[in-house]
Amino acid sequence: MKAVVWHGVGDIRLDDVPEPKIQDRHDAVVRITTSAICGTDLHFVRGTVPGLAQGRILGHEAVGIVEETGTGVRNFRPGDRVVVPSTVACGVCSYCRAGYYAQCDNANPNGKQGSTTFFGGPEAAGGLDGLQAEFARVPFAHTGLVPLPDSVDDASAILLSDIMPTSWFGARLAEVSSGDTVAVLGAGPVGQLAAVAARLQGAGRVIVVDGVPDRLSLARDQHAETVDFNAEDPVEAIREMTGGIGVDRVIEAVGVDAEHPERGPAAVGESEKRRFDEEGDLAAPVQNPDRHGTWRPGDAPSQAMRWAVDLVAKAGTIGVTGVYPPHADRFPFGAAMQRNLTLRMGNCHHRRYIPRLVSMVASGVLDTTPFITRWADTEGAIAAYEHFDRREQGWTKVALDTA
């Protein structure tokens, strides 16, 4: 079968690989009909999240049809349409039963202190092959698959695999409640849907910050207020918009590949640039950008978190969904402490939110289709990665038609 395979930093290829097989009686094999490329995948190719094995199949977002089930899978049978949660969880341990699926005690072969287990990630994250492929093996399939009604087609379901649950989780982390003014940092797919989630959870105002004009325009399509950090200082602009107070809640949807402004009043000076350069070298010791600037890591790993601390109101809450590698340790702790901030973060407990999000889509409360801005077929997957990596106009979210 064809699959997107990680060969090294800056080196991904479309390869022919063997089809997966059932290895454990709780496994299922799923024929993937739609997959997608995520900002998390970019961290692996840029080198800001390390530790993938050469030959690892990438991808952790998929909709498909159950092909085969192990004898321990009682709730699915071949032919069932499903969405696959990105993180893998056993459904048995106390963490899973409390809804903390991303901290499952049993999913990671590295043991209880191993990190969140997900498809197509580093060895530390379980070393599982991913979902940008024609077939995938899903462990603990009784928990690791969510059924789809016929009324929810692939285009409506694919963002329920990772992006929408993460955005929903981000708004929960940020403690969004009725009337709140919420800033969303990052207008990639997670940021776009965090604006949707914040609204559905009661936000009164949503302000989206990014430096890419067409992504800000997509946010304005859903009537978010927007701030372009290359045109305005986002901290000053948001203070001005909020009566000098700042926002009640921040959802950080950027992560370690954060950028500093290139121009405008918030452009960084020499000493700040040096600090960010040093952070960048720590974040991505191995880098391999090409001559077009593809696979270039972000130039200011802590920029989004620094703004989050500065633009939130005193005693406000920051929910962090952006991914930072385990060795990222630059955060303005003192400033956050002095302002009585609450900081909550983590990998999404996908399985906790997906069933209700499926119901919301089926009932028409939620429509994620406007946020898929491009479709590519398997043959075009690597080119699609490159357009998405360079944040080219119109390439905010790419779904892959693997059928």
Ligand X SMILES: NC(=O)c1ccc[n+]([C@@H]2O[C@H](COP(=O)([O-])OP(=O)(O)OC[C@H]3O[C@@H](n4cnc5c(N)ncnc54)[C@H](O)[C@@H]3O)[C@@H](O)[C@H]2O)c1
Verify binding: residue 189, ligand X, rule CB under 6 A. yes
Of these, 27, 67, 154, 162, which contacts Zn ion (CB under 5 A)? 162
- The distance of closest approach from Cβ of residue 220 to Zn ion in the complex, given in angstroms and rounded to an integer, is 24
Q: Which does 212 bind (CB under 5 to 8 A by kind): Zn ion, ligand X, none?
A: ligand X
DSSP assignment of 197-245 equals: HHHHTT-SEEEEEES-HHHHHHHHHTT-EEEETTTS-HHHHHHHHTTTS
Nearer to Zn ion, 93 or 268 (CB): 93
Number of chain residues interacting with Zn ion (CB under 5 A): 9
Residue 86: name the closest of 52, 128, 44, 124 by CA. Answer: 128
Residues 6+ apart with CB under 8 A from 123: 51, 52, 53, 110
Q: Which does 185 bind (CB under 5 to 8 A by kind): ligand X, Zn ion, none?
A: ligand X
Nearer to ligand X, 68 or 233 (CB): 233
Amino acid at 269: G
- The distance of closest approach from Cβ of residue 150 to ligand X in the complex, given in angstroms and rounded to an integer, is 27
Verify binding: residue 40, Zn ion, rule CB under 5 A. yes
Of these, 304, 309, 336, 376, which contacts ligand X (CB under 6 A)? 304
Verify binding: residue 166, ligand X, rule CB under 6 A. yes
C-alpha span between 97 and 5 (Å, rounded): 33
- The distance of closest approach from Cβ of residue 269 to ligand X in the complex, given in angstroms and rounded to an integer, is 16
* Candidate ranges 35-43, 113-121, 256-264, 373-381; the one touching Zn ion (CB under 5 A): 35-43
Evaluated on CA atoms 234, 238, 244, 249, the torsion sign reads: negative
Of these, 34, 321, 373, 402, which contacts ligand X (CB under 6 A)? 321
Cβ atoms of 368 and 164 closer than 8 Å: yes
Burial category of 342 from C-beta neighbours within 10 Å (exposed 0-12, middle 13-18, buried 19 and up): middle
Lay out the site mask for ligand X across 241-260 (x = CB under 6 A, - = otherwise): ------------xxx--xx-
Verify binding: residue 59, ligand X, rule CB under 6 A. no
Of these, 108, 230, 303, 373, which contacts ligand X (CB under 6 A)? 303
Residues 6+ apart with CB under 8 A from 353: 164, 165, 168, 169
Query: Given its phi and psi angles, is residue 346 left (phi above 0), alpha (psi -120 to 50 degrees) or beta?
Result: left
Tell the residue number behind the tokens 């199949």, with chain if given: 57
Interface residues for Zn ion in 105-144 (CB under 5 A)?
Answer: 106
Residues within the interface to Zn ion (CB under 5 A): 38, 40, 89-90, 93, 96, 104, 106, 162
